[in-house]
Amino acid sequence: MNNSLIELDERKNKIAEKLSSQYAVNLISIEEYERLVEYSQKIETESELRILEKIVNERNVTETNREKKPLPQEIDKEYTNILSSRSISGPMISGTITNILGDTKITLTEDDLINDETTLHISSILGSINIRLSGNINVICNAIPILGEVSNKFKKGNGYGKNLIIKGTVLLGDIKIRNS
């Protein structure tokens, strides 16, 4: 009886290690990692453990057999735009955008957001920032307008999506978030 309990604990630890390495290489989110590790520790039967092992192992096989795209060099981006216009697009983990007396256009798809959560830090003075989005993206806009405007008219598609968090300040300017 004790040997079977020890074996179950060892298998639970192996599952936790696999989940940890899947999280480390960005195959699963932190929420999924925590949920599955917590669930694995509550398992008491052999059949439940086999099911969880199958789920974890299948994900590993599927992800390792799939061709992986190399990540771009600059995915944590910083842009400054003064008295000009600029267009921004492409893969991103987070971004810092400073716009002074200019016009900045940002175009992002769900695939451009590398992580489940991407944050844009925006500072705009006497300028306009237009953000065009497509895909299943949840937009959380915490930008503060001071004698300006922040409008979010993005309509996301159906299903679970990634989060785009927009933080910052707009002084005598505007931020417009729309579908592309």
pLDDT in tens, 56-75: 877 654 444 444 444 444 46
Residues 82 and 152 in one domain: yes
Residues 35 and 89 in one domain: no
Paired sense of beta strands 149-152 and 128-134, if any: unpaired
**Which residue range(s) make up the domain with 60?**
2-65
Residues 88 and 155 in one domain: yes
- Give the confidence band of 132 by pLDDT, cuts at 50, 70, 90: very high
Last residue of a domain, one of 12, 45, 65: 65
Q: Which residues contact 34 (CB under 8 A, 6 or more apart)?
A: none
Rounded to 10°, the helix 30-42/2-24 angle is 180
Is residue 167 assigned to a domain?
yes
Global pTM value: 0.59
Residues 52 and 8 in one domain: yes
Per the structure, how many domains does the chain have? 2
